[in-house]
Amino acid sequence: MPRDLIERFREDDRRFAVDPETCFCFECDAISWDVLEYYPHTPVNRIYHLLEGQYRREELTEVVGELEWLRATKSILAVPKREDLLKAFEVERGLKKLSVALSREGAGNDSPPTSRRWFSKNEPHVSETAVEIGRKAVALLLNRSGIQNDLHLEFIEDRTIHAPELIADLCEYALNMARVAGKRLTVAVHVADWPLSSVPEALKGHAVGVKLEIVDAAAAREYIRAVWAGNHSPPTLPRLAKAIQPAAAGIGGRIVVRPNHAAFGKVVEVLDDAGFSVIEIDTDAAYVAHPGLDPGLMLESLRQSAVYYAERLLAHHYFKLDPMASLFWRIYNGTPLWRSDPAGTNELAIDETGAIYPCRNLMGVDAFLLGSVAESTLDEDAVRRFEDVGSVTTAPCIRCWARNFCGGGAVAVHHAFTGSFRTPHDPWCDMQRAWMRAAIAAFQLLSSKGVHFERIYNTLGHLTSDGGYRRLGKPSLFTLARAALTMTIGVRPIEEADAPLLTQWENWNESAYFLFNETGVLLATKYDREMDSLHPRETDHELVLLRKNGTPFGLFKVRPDRIPGAAHAWGHLHDEKDYAAETIRKGFRALLKEAAGQQAIRRLTVPAAPWETALQAFLEAVGFTREGVLREALYLHGRYHDVALFSIAADTL
């Protein structure tokens, strides 16, 4: 078998290995590194013979056993099924993202915003062409979305929102039409080159823009008006951060920086200090605008940004930084990315004249003109050219170990460098591989230190498969519970770093939390609990309860039932005396209330073993009612035991 089945690399005196197919990556010690030089293409006995002068046979056997375990669990070296191989070549159908640049003919920003609609005959600042193109763009997105349910519509502006009332009306119109069509839509207003009153040294020479993201039609108009009004005099960075990130549901914003030269390593630090919680470094647009940029020099600034981001995450200062956070998320999920650029198939763009292009970064390139919404034309043959894009159909990608992390890159970047949207640029590919190695090393360090990557997205929004936000307005269970319990107890999802503690708590513990479930065993390994945190059940929310000083003292898990509105929950406090603490009872009740609201739960049921008298008293004090007994439902120590069921209605919390 070829040696690149497992890719090994060094980064900052540390050793790493990655399976290019499954994207499973891990840090190696010296013996694992040496074994992987021969594994899996060399017989095991041959490996023992080759390395017997360096390591004891018992050590080698242990390492090989661990690798074989990873192989048995299909974490590495999984043999793909025929249908899985074919799936990689399938084209995902349905339009997911549409970028629209509206005509500015007749638009102005000198007058204050009014409540007049664009369909009013008295509105003086409206371009009829923009109105027509905007409405046709909404129709194009909804009509070509097909099976896609999470959609993204982006209006492109520069320096300001030139027609705020028109944009607000189109946002409302698009969101209302999407709701009627049964689609989840995020509307964005992307304003490039936003003027600032003073530009920090780190940002000089770079293009600074903002992106307003809206999912609530009722909040769109006031949000857009407020941001537009604040641009009459150029703001400072902190004032801009406050303007685009209001504390309101259904709206949110991010700052977008397009590097115009390779020295942007301090940009993230400056923006973080200013208070931005979502930051995007648009390197693809940088390469398209400046094909002469040296990818190697760009890499150094990316590394510098990633180092700062890692330091802030380790300090438990959470914000979202793309492309770093999105790459960490892909590594965390371990899902191969066969195609990263949806241009032409799942993404289109429309310019001021109504001309249709594959994506925003290819707008204006005549060779990629696909049709016109003004003339109601679309060249389907030209669209089909972009079905043959991605790592599985691009020759240089097929032998690249980073293919399923990179996904083949962006067609606009390839076209800018080589003149062909199917041909990657070799120096750019070298930079991508180096960047992937650095990202994997950073991920492993952060993961080992207890950074929970879901928390970044649970706090700042949920990502869809194409990297866009699913919803902005509804925080996660973790966020809601954390806010509710600030003054009583803390709560967070279980983490990989919790595995030793959870194993100690669980082993030989006769609590219903550990026994009255689908496993029902008294023993758990550290590996079991690590896997629980890294790959939780999709329907489960398992949380660690924390004291005010951050010390874990209990566990809580909720799982929706098959019956709508019903759910099962489990609770366990490690110190039995905590069941009687009034502050903990109050906090637990608040946690239940937020969990029920997040999961649309009407009734919650919690089991308790007969010997858990403290838990039973705790549940009744919180407001639970003893509903009944499951006879002989728990088998332990050679005989069956009854299990008491306690329930509570969400509207009583």
pTM of the model: 0.72
532 confidence band (pLDDT: 50, 70, 90): low
Who has greater pLDDT, 561 or 174? 174
**pLDDT reading at 81 higher than 90:** no
Who has greater pLDDT, 210 or 314? 210
CB 633, CB 605: distance < 8 Å: no
Place of tokens 């931005």: 276
The DSSP code sequence of 470-522 is S-SSS--HHHHHHHHTTTS-EEEE--GGGHHHHHHHHTT---HHHHSSSS--S
**pLDDT reading at 121 higher than 70:** no
Q: How many domains does the chain have?
A: 2
Q: What percent of the chain has pLDDT over 90?
A: 58
Asked if residue 414 is part of any domain, the answer here is no
Q: What is each CA distance from 568 to 477, 526, 585, 599, 630, in whole angstroms?
A: 15, 25, 19, 12, 14
Over residues 15-65, the pLDDT tens digits come to 999 999 988 888 999 999 999 999 999 999 999 999 999 999 999 998 998
**pLDDT reading at 196 higher than 80:** yes
Secondary structure letter of residue 469 according to DSSP: B
- pLDDT for the residue 127: 73
- pLDDT for the residue 525: 63
Secondary structure letter of residue 72 according to DSSP: H
Asked if residue 45 is part of any domain, the answer here is yes
CB 185, CB 215: distance < 8 Å: yes
**Separation of alpha carbons 493 and 482, rounded Å:** 10
CB 386, CB 362: distance < 8 Å: no
**Separation of alpha carbons 243 and 224, rounded Å:** 10
CB 252, CB 219: distance < 8 Å: no
- pLDDT for the residue 549: 65
Secondary structure letter of residue 91 according to DSSP: P
Asked if residue 72 is part of any domain, the answer here is yes
**pLDDT reading at 156 higher than 80:** yes
Beta bridge partners of 639: 636
**pLDDT reading at 448 higher than 90:** no
Asked if residue 464 is part of any domain, the answer here is no
Kindly state the average pLDDT of the residues 510-534.
69
- pLDDT for the residue 95: 97
**pLDDT reading at 537 higher than 70:** no
Please tell me which of 101-105, 108-112, 617-621 the model is most confident about, judged by mean pLDDT: 617-621
- Computed over every residue of the chain, the mean pLDDT equals 85
Over residues 207-219, the pLDDT tens digits come to 999 999 999 999 9
Q: List CB contacts of 587: < 8 A, sequence separation 6 or more.
A: 485, 488, 489, 545
What six digits make up the tokens of 209?
Answer: 């823009």
Among 21, 53, 79, the domain-final residue is 79
Asked if residue 60 is part of any domain, the answer here is yes
Q: List CB contacts of 350: < 8 A, sequence separation 6 or more.
A: 98, 99, 100, 101, 133, 137, 140, 356, 357, 373
Which phi and psi angles does 423 have, rounded to 5°? Answer: -115, 110
Asked if residue 97 is part of any domain, the answer here is no
522 confidence band (pLDDT: 50, 70, 90): low
558 confidence band (pLDDT: 50, 70, 90): confident
- Give the domain extent around 10: 3-79
**Separation of alpha carbons 213 and 191, rounded Å:** 12
Over residues 267-305, the pLDDT tens digits come to 999 999 999 999 999 999 999 999 999 999 999 999 999
**pLDDT reading at 612 higher than 90:** yes
- pLDDT for the residue 488: 59
Amino acid at 478: F
Q: Tell me which of 44-58, 60-74, 109-123, 191-205 is least confident.
A: 109-123
- pLDDT for the residue 231: 72
Kindly state the average pLDDT of the residues 544-551.
76
Asked if residue 610 is part of any domain, the answer here is yes
**Separation of alpha carbons 556 and 545, rounded Å:** 7
What six digits make up the tokens of 349?
Answer: 């763009």
Amino acid at 152: H
How far does CA 184 lie from the centroid of its chain?
17
Among 46, 79, 112, the domain-final residue is 79
CATH number for the domain that contains residue 639: 3.40.630.30
Which phi and psi angles does 428 have, rounded to 5°? Answer: -65, -40
Please tell me which of 179-193, 225-239, 492-506 the model is most confident about, judged by mean pLDDT: 179-193
Among 41, 62, 79, the domain-final residue is 79
Who has greater pLDDT, 229 or 461? 229
Taking alpha carbons only, the member of 170, 194, 152, 151 closest to residue 103 is 170
Who has greater pLDDT, 125 or 74? 74
Note if the bond before 323 is cis, omega within 30 degrees: yes
195 confidence band (pLDDT: 50, 70, 90): very high
Asked if residue 216 is part of any domain, the answer here is no
